[in-house]
Chain A
């Protein structure tokens, strides 16, 4: 499998404004933090929906998460070969994010699992290049499993 670190050129994010790939090949989800009330949002917002303030900064979220719930998707659009595990994960900033879950047999997935973010190939760009996106996988799972 192609990974983000064994490439000659910098890996390209599938959603650059939402998902950043750092020089070491690791990835971060990008969101907003309200400087007034401290609420976090994903993706980036124009204003805080907690206090309606507009003083927001862009922040990188933690790469750990807990699985709130999940489904094994068995029918989808052609862009997503089935089956895949889709889940809602809660990151420590207090934000729930929808993501695919990888690195685990679908039968083994459990609500409440501890997960961490992984950078994985996620589709193909307009010029045919591999794009990289995020999935979450059980903590400690080898990349490429």
Chain B
């Protein structure tokens, strides 16, 4: 079976884009990815577009803007994992031998859809009793504090780190560093989470061009990065209450990715993980096996997850600092991985990074542990 390589990436600035829309942002990210890959866009054979709230045929509206209609294209929705699912589908099309050059784009104009907290689908029984996304994570944070003794300051330190990383990322939503005190004193959303523990409502898009071994050889792109694994699972149904401080779904998706890539968590040099809330980063890095369970909050306090630390987490600023345009998020994580592995990450460059991992986890459905989880492993 062929390997899969990423030869070009692009992304818009993440933030508020009142004068643009999801398709316009997608078109800009796509054009940048094509230019970065240095290929004739007519070589692209197929496309996948991840988005959540942008209406019908958003991917086709992107292709129409850049004159590339006529390709097979599928729009994919998997909540916060939508963009990552587009990457995976693109890689599957290549591995299956169907195409040699496939485009994955993710986009979201979220500021026109939401002002405050996102909520589950209204038909959901938990939405009916008042669930919001922050409150669900807040409950997990409360339980984690009870079981592992995590302090409020340790939790805030996650957001402080990601905002510090974002300050070094010209494409991030937030460029200003914050302090632990500012997190703790920011507006309460769902105890113990405050506004600065939450990822913002953001517009943005990202794109990547994936190719087969054969096409890489033909193009001779020396900056290509290998997509060693791209895994996706939905949460298993729970037949009894289980711990909310550990994520079996994240573990399962990661283990499948490690196996496919032929690596272990100890080989990962840095990771972009789904920090939709400060507590989410804690649960994810422990679920991925990158830090021992219960050990991450203290490790963050010690600077181990900083750029320059033992295992940098969310060097882009993550969702908290860079922003979280749902469909764009998973592709943007891959953009960061590619730029880091190529040594093109500027001020936030991680020295000597060879293996990067991206993790997304999206959506909520009553009775299962999580709706969709993806892990990508990129190797230089």
Contact = CB atoms under 8 A, between A and B. Distances in A.
Interface of A: 14-15, 18, 39, 41-43, 45, 48-50, 68-77, 79-80, 84, 86-88, 90, 94-96, 98-100, 106, 111, 133-134
A36 to B, nearest CB: 12
Contact of B190 (A39, A43, A73): A73
Nearest to A88: B139
B146 A111 contact: yes
Nearest to A95: B241
Contact of A68 (B128, B130, B192, B244): B244
B129 A75 contact: no
Contacts, number: 105
Most buried by B among A45, A72, A73, A106: A73
B189 interface: yes
Contacts of A75: 116-117, 132, 134, 187-190
Task: Please list the 4 inter-chain residue pairs (A to B) with the smallest Cβ-Cβ separation, ordered nearest first.
Answer: A49-B237, A71-B138, A96-B241, A69-B143
A71 B367 contact: no
Contact of B191 (A74, A88, A98, A111): A74
Contact of B129 (A49, A90, A94, A99): A99
Interface in B97-138: 116-117, 119, 125-126, 128-132, 134-135, 138
A49 B241 contact: no
B294 to A, nearest CB: 16
B140 interface: yes
Chain B interface size, as a band, is 20 to 34
26 contacts: A42-B367, A43-B125, A48-B239, A49-B237, A49-B239, A49-B367, A68-B143, A69-B142, A71-B190, A71-B191, A71-B193, A73-B135, A74-B187, A74-B189, A74-B190, A75-B116, A75-B189, A76-B132, A77-B117, A86-B139, A95-B241, A100-B130, A106-B191, A111-B142, A111-B146, A133-B128
A69 B140 CA distance: 7
Contacts of B146: 69, 111
Most buried by A among B143, B241, B244: B241
B130 A72 contact: no
Given A77-B132, A88-B244, 13 more contacts: A18-B125, A49-B238, A71-B190, A73-B132, A75-B190, A76-B130, A76-B132, A77-B116, A87-B139, A95-B240, A98-B125, A98-B126, A111-B146
A111 B241 contact: no
Contacts of A72: 188, 190-191
B117 to A, nearest CB: 6
Nearest to A133: B129
B69 interface: no
Given A43-B366, A76-B117, A94-B241, A70 B139 contact: yes
Interface in B230-262: 236-241, 244
A115 B189 CA distance: 25
Most buried by B among A43, A49, A98, A133: A98
Most buried by A among B140, B188, B236: B188
Contacts of A70: 139, 142
A80 B122 CA distance: 13
Most buried by B among A49, A86, A87, A100: A86
Contacts of A14: 128
B197 to A, nearest CB: 12
Contacts of A71: 135, 138-139, 142, 190-193
A50 B237 CA distance: 8
Given A75-B190, A111-B142, A94 B240 contact: yes
Nearest to A79: B130
Nearest to A15: B128
A45 B367 CA distance: 10
A111 B143 contact: yes
A69 B190 contact: no
A35 B208 CA distance: 50
Contacts of A106: 191
Nearest to A51: B239
Contact of A100 (B129, B138, B192): B129
A53 B125 CA distance: 23
A74 to B, nearest CB: 4
